Chain A
Amino acid sequence: MNDQVGGNLKRNRFHALCQSLRPDLLRFAFWLSRDLALAEDVVQEAMLRAWKAQDSLLDEGAAKPWFLTIIRREYARSFERKRLVTVDIDELVAREEPTLATTQADDLAELRAALFKLPDEYREPLVLQVLMGYSTAEIAAELNLSNAAVLTRLFRGRNHLRALCGEDTRMDPE
């Protein structure tokens, strides 16, 4: 009986944790994969792995990076499970149009399409920084890069993105 109560408490706690983190984790997986269906599968599988390995999460405050690491590994596994064909970026943008569309009056859709065009090596650190609030050191640890390499990628990524969006880049450094 006590075991059942304890199990329910544990389950509810994990449930609440997943519920609170899920929107951002799904967004992260989406920008990683540029495919909402794949992102959902990756997050789903990652949550299951996390549930099974929850005893290794010692501090709930560290849950977000813990989940992110699992998601990145799960995404890498998705490459092992199936052969991914090369897809034209414009086709990719068209396929994900419902997700990229915005009802707001500004030009977020254009910016989202530009993000799709950004090479993976620039997009991932940028998403970790802007969406997930990671510091340079945390990105470096997650991507197994030096701090200097992360800063270079962030700089080039933003530079590239701004140019794709037609921003005035005349004052940007080389």
Chain B
Amino acid sequence: MMNCADYRRAVLAGPRDADPLLRLHRDGCRECLEYTDRLLLFESRLERAMRVSVAAAGDARVVPLRVPAAARASAAPGGLKARRGWLAMAASVLILVAVAGGLWLAEPHSSLAADVVAHMAGEPQAWARTDIPATAPELAQALGGAHLRLDPKAGMVSYARSCQFRAHRVPHLVVQTEMGPVTVMVLAHESVSKPERFDEQGYHGVILPIPGRGSLAVLARGQSPSPDMLKQIASRVQDALVWTG
């Protein structure tokens, strides 16, 4: 059995490491579980800190738009700097189009979505496609703190955990759908005014407002299910939430 110092050394090197030995220690050690939750919060901030805004600076020099011309010109006399002026002018129309797209793509659409995605990336083991449901005690433990239970019409839940998210414990569930695993987070402390779609770092999803109860984040990895299908799944899960307090 791994000791606490070894565990913490390992998670400091890789807080999102899904090593079963680390999980085994974490599950049996409350202090290390809390330590990991704090570290993951820091990690989420670190990831966002590294995502500096580069859209404004970069769009003035959209490289791909200039690459073909630059490559053709490489045989001509004159250095790169001399080519930059007319290349920039020639690309200016395309840059106008790229600015809008670049700004949209380069930054997370909301910090809430960014945090949800960062949290997901930290629990890769949750995404397994499986037909083994979470046990009733696991589900009760994940949902109980939020005064919730889930009607079976939501679908088969394969993963249920109460996670630290933005200084609150929130239920984190994975529902197995016909289109693959879909993750659900019930964010009682986070409000959104209208449904917010996001598509970041290989995850896409939607954050739905739950009037008087915060919001619900539903997301999937890769291209499937489609955004419309995901919205349907989100509505189904939302309908299946039963508030007990």
Contacts and interface: CB of A to CB of B under 8 A. Distances in A.
B71 A23 contact: no
Nearest to B17: A136
Contact of A108 (B12, B45, B67): B45
Interface residues of B, number: 44
A22 B64 CA distance: 9
A44 B45 CA distance: 29
Nearest to A18: B64
A93 interface: no
Given A16-B64, A129-B14, A173-B8, A23 B48 contact: no
B71 A52 contact: yes
A78 interface: no
A25 to B, nearest CB: 9
B243 interface: no
Contacts of A112: 49, 52
A130 B45 contact: no
A158 B12 contact: yes
A6 to B, nearest CB: 13
Interface string A60-74: 000000000000000
Contact of A171 (B35, B43, B46): B35
B9 interface: yes
Nearest to A158: B12
Interface string B32-53: 0001001000110111111111
Interface size class of A (residues with CB under 8 A): 35 or more
A111 B49 contact: yes
Interface string B4-18: 111011101111000
A90 B19 CA distance: 39
B47 A40 contact: no
B52 A27 contact: yes
B111 interface: yes
Nearest to B106: A23
A15 B46 contact: no
Contact of B63 (A47, A131, A161): A47
Contacts of B106: 23
Contacts of A152: 13
Given A15-B65, A130-B43, A158-B13, A99 B71 contact: no
A146 B233 CA distance: 45
B1 interface: no
Interface of B: 4-6, 8-10, 12-15, 31, 35, 38, 42-43, 45-55, 57-58, 61-65, 67-68, 70-71, 74, 80, 98, 102, 105-106, 111
Interface of A: 11, 14-19, 22-23, 26-27, 30-31, 36, 40, 43-45, 47-48, 51-52, 99-100, 104, 106-108, 111-112, 115, 126-127, 129-131, 136, 151-152, 154-155, 158-159, 161-162, 165, 167-168, 171-174
Given A23-B105, A36-B54, 9 more contacts: A15-B65, A40-B57, A44-B61, A51-B70, A108-B49, A171-B31, A171-B35, A173-B5, A174-B5
